[in-house]
């Protein structure tokens, strides 16, 4: 069974960006339920208003990579935030990363390459929510990649979650280095799938979601953020590379 690790980070827009990150997480979570995929939160940094500064989660199941591979990039939302008192439409962003989860035999991460720190898990506003040091931060010394996990009550489980995130990020870094040796045409294809540019706009006042890579808009925005992504994902996976 294949799996991906997804990371959603609030971008520009302050509290509304964090709320949008939560909206995107709910969208993917509902889509995973519809697809009968397994899902697990590996790390999160919630805000007091119910948003996320960052959330990392794993999805596993049939065709999960095929269907989620083009979700990576900057997502933009245009809507009236719950925090807006004058009824003005705000524009905010959140970034999504999609990392294939490598199989255990694929990578050999040695213990002497890791710096492991433990600390108390924190909740919204930074307050400590656990009196024991169960949260884990792991630094991979050769690449200087840093990952954290604080969602579980067990330090051991948080370490396992952090190691899953770390393995995916190390694999991504290795693949990026390999891309440098590929042809320009292949690089362009990979960039289309992974680029950090704005890939999609969710316009609530106009009930429209536009994917800028295929220049196509979809309506029923409430249905889309409730997990009805199939039409959009089918159009993306059917795109012919040139």
Report how far Cα 239 is from the mean position of its chain's Cα atoms. 22
Residue-level pLDDT at 190: 45
Q: Is residue 188 part of a domain?
A: yes
Rounded to whole angstroms, the Cα distance separating 197 from 192 reads: 9
Give CA torsion, residues 26, 28, 31, 32, to 10 deg: -110
pTM of the model: 0.85
Residues 38 and 152 in one domain: no
Rounded to whole angstroms, the Cα distance separating 101 from 103 reads: 7
Tens-place pLDDT, residues 85-119: 778 888 999 999 999 988 876 678 889 999 999 98
Tens-place pLDDT, residues 163-197: 999 999 998 888 877 766 555 554 454 444 444 46
Residues 219 and 231 in one domain: yes
Q: Is residue 242 part of a domain?
A: no
Domain of residue 146, residue span: 111-179
Q: Is residue 141 part of a domain?
A: yes
Residues 119 and 132 in one domain: yes
Rounded to whole angstroms, the Cα distance separating 55 from 100 reads: 16
Residues 77 and 188 in one domain: yes
């Amino acid at each position: 069974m294949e799996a991906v690790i997804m990371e959603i980070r609030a971008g520009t827009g302050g509290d509304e960006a964090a709320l949008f990150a939560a909206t995107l997480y709910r969208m993917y979570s509902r889509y995973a339920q519809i697809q009968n995929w397994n899902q697990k939160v590996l790390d999160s940094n919630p805000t007091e208003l119910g948003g996320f500064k960052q959330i990392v989660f794993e999805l596993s199941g049939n065709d999960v990579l095929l269907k989620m591979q083009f979700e990576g990039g900057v997502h933009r939302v245009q809507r009236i935030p719950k925090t807006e008192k004058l009824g003005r439409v705000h524009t905010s962003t959140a970034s999504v990363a999609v990392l294939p989860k490598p199989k255990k035999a694929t990578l050999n991460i040695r213990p002497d390459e890791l710096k492991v720190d433990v600390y108390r898990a924190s909740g919204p506003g930074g307050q400590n929510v656990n009196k024991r040091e169960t949260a884990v931060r792991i630094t991979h010394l050769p690449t200087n990649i840093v990952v954290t996990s604080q969602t579980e009550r067990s330090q051991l489980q948080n370490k396992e979650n952090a190691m899953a995130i770390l393995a995916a990020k190390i694999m991504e870094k290795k693949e990026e280095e390999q891309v440098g040796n590929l042809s320009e045409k292949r690089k362009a294809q990979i960039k289309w799938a992974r680029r950090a540019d704005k890939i999609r706009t969710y316009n609530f006042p106009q009930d429209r979601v536009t994917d800028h890579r295929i220049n196509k808009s979809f309506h029923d925005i409430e249905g889309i953020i409730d997990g009805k992504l199939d039409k959009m994902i089918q159009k993306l996976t059917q795109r012919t590379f040139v």
